[in-house]
Chain A
């Protein structure tokens, strides 16, 4: 138990025997699923008389990935550590407001710093409440979410501030069919991937999530690890808020809650094969999960399916996918 929890994640070994087992790795599975969903979507949309691989549609899919992707990548870090963050939706709303208002009166650079500082502070608060006060992460982050919500409701009644055109380029510019914001997502995801797989902090995060007690007995400073995971998550959420601010052109108080980023991001993480109890999974799978959700969304839009029916299918897909993982990884307990 202790050994498996503490062993650093093995780098993929290129033996044929190992390769067969890698197919059952959820991270690989979810990318295959994303591929299957894309092909199926292409088939269905083409039969319906539309074009799925049009440039416009690819741009829509990719930019839909960015906001949820940034949040979900951050959420991966906390969930791996055995925690959870339900405050992300309100942090996004507050982040867009702070960004837009600071940019209206001051510099873009200052606004970015402000949003990241705010995010880090919220993450720090989350982490300290979870570790210091020993409040269950579910309740702790729900509580900070409520606090942020009250702050938003008390100070803002609707969209506020204005994002200058120069910063809106982050949301709208693209290179070929690829929006530049995708590079932001890739950069953040890559940074977190390196951190998780190749640094001591990352290994400590896996160990803490796998078995906190064992990790602590082995000398891991589990509290500090959990706090840092929360700060990392909130920084990713801050990046998502900056992206949404540039996309919307103004601060939107309910940008996060309307899209339900709190629950959607957790769904994307679990869809990507990360175990909700912590200790197993990774960023690569999460990105696959985000892609599956975005492609599904786009297919439904093209077929002009009722938006409420979309939710039904989404719920079924999430449950079915996780049921599939549970069957495959029957040895693991979660």
Chain B
């Protein structure tokens, strides 16, 4: 619960260790990100031209936003497997809304989607806390329900299209050069960062670290977790708006995104089971994953082998992180009572 920074000021360790502590459990991911970005620069010298780099950030934005939302849920000790389905549902529902009300303002539709995401998150949170269903099962069920309901409603194949006004957020630019998606990503990231600095963030981490201790200390554990689920739902809905704008209506819009988001968060050194890790590292994990995809594309690794390489790198990166992490922790705390992964 105490931030790593507090622990270091208390015993004033060597400088290199202080840096490691400031980076926290996310240290390996920043290294990975730097390596990947360097590799990108070497492969493709034009990669850091402003508009191309911004395009890269734009492509990464949905995953970064999803990772921020997923982080909130994971750090509180839960899972959210429904985010991919929320993205698919969001895109399809937006198209259907425009089918019925072609004149609807984009802001209204976007707000409706965000509200929908919040409601789904609320249901997830209520079932997981009040009914004590493990969130893995709750959100798995929610995934089946959402996908089933959306396709039942649209008769199996979503149709209709999204008007330019709505798609601007996903593929348009502000002032002619700055993609809106980058702004949305920065806003979401800033909000998540501020949230984790606030009282809410501390109680969230405390809840994930030890539910019982947090409850005894006066944290309303259920409410904190429900809020985390709601925020994750909202983040997924925002990602849906970006994905819909960027690539249009598709029944596959969100497929697999839940696993990508969880992978990104874990890549950022966040421990599944809760209580440890920072939101910035989680978002860096999302950037790393996107940089990895881009790099594999540029390197001409055949699309097929891409997932093999991805699998190896994810296992290796997380394995490396786990090894570093346990050593750091053993040094800092004398008590061995850790949760075996």
Contact = CB atoms under 8 A, between A and B. Distances in A.
Contacts of B138: 319
A138 B318 CA distance: 11
Interface string B302-340: 111111111110110011001100100000000001001
Interface string A308-326: 1111111110110011001
B266 A136 contact: yes
Contacts of A326: 131-133
A147 B315 CA distance: 10
A314 B309 contact: no
Nearest to A132: B319
Most-contacted residue by chain B among A154, A263, A306, A310 (CB, 10 A): A154
Interface stretch (B41-49, B139-147, B194-202, B232-240): B139-147
A319 B136 CA distance: 10
Contacts of A151: 308
Contact of A315 (B142, B263, B271, B310): B142
A19 interface: no
B296 to A, nearest CB: 10
Given A129-B319, A146-B310, A276-B136, A315 B141 contact: yes
Interface in A106-158: 129, 133-140, 142-151, 153-155
Given A143-B312, A146-B308, A146-B314, A309 B137 contact: no
A155 B305 CA distance: 9
B241 interface: no
Interface string A202-229: 0000000000110000000000000000
A133 B308 contact: no
B94 interface: no
B149 interface: yes
Given A138-B272, A153-B303, A319-B127, A334 B134 contact: yes
Contact of A149 (B133, B148, B308): B308
B340 A213 contact: yes
A136 B319 CA distance: 9
A133 B136 contact: no
A137 B314 CA distance: 12
B56 interface: no
A142 B263 contact: yes
B314 A142 contact: yes
Given A150-B309, A153-B303, A318-B141, A311 B134 contact: no
A158 to B, nearest CB: 13
B262 interface: yes
A62 interface: no
B318 A308 contact: no
Contacts of B312: 143, 147
B152 interface: yes
B82 to A, nearest CB: 10
Most-contacted residue by chain A among B137, B266, B323 (CB, 10 A): B137
B308 A318 contact: no
A287 interface: no
A133 B322 contact: yes
Contacts of B131: 323, 326-327
Given A133-B323, A143-B314, A150 B147 contact: no
Contact of B341 (A135, A145, A276): A135
B262 A138 contact: yes
A266 interface: yes
Most-contacted residue by chain B among A151, A270, A308 (CB, 10 A): A308
Interface in B168-204: none
Contact of B140 (A154, A266, A308, A334): A266
Contacts of A334: 134
A316 B145 contact: yes
Contacts of B341: 134-137
B311 A323 contact: no
B259 interface: yes
A316 B337 CA distance: 38
A144 B315 contact: yes
Nearest to B134: A276
A144 B311 contact: yes
A138 B185 CA distance: 27
A150 B306 contact: yes
B13 interface: no
Nearest to A146: B311
Interface string A157-201: 000000000000000000000000000000000000000000000
B262 A154 contact: no
B137 A150 contact: no
B98 interface: no
B156 A308 contact: yes
A323 B137 CA distance: 10
B95 to A, nearest CB: 16
B246 interface: no
Contacts of A313: 148
B134 A315 contact: no
B311 A322 contact: no
Contacts of A322: 133-134, 137
Contacts of A308: 147-152, 156
A267 interface: yes
A133 B319 contact: yes
Given A146-B307, A306-B152, A267 B259 contact: no
B144 A143 contact: no
Interface string A263-277: 100110010000011
Contacts of B156: 308
6 contacts: A129-B319, A135-B319, A135-B341, A138-B266, A147-B307, A151-B308
Interface of B: 127, 131-134, 136-138, 140-145, 147-152, 156, 259, 262-263, 266, 271-272, 302-312, 314-315, 318-319, 322-323, 326, 337, 340-341
Given A134-B323, A146-B310, 4 more contacts: A150-B304, A153-B307, A212-B340, A323-B133
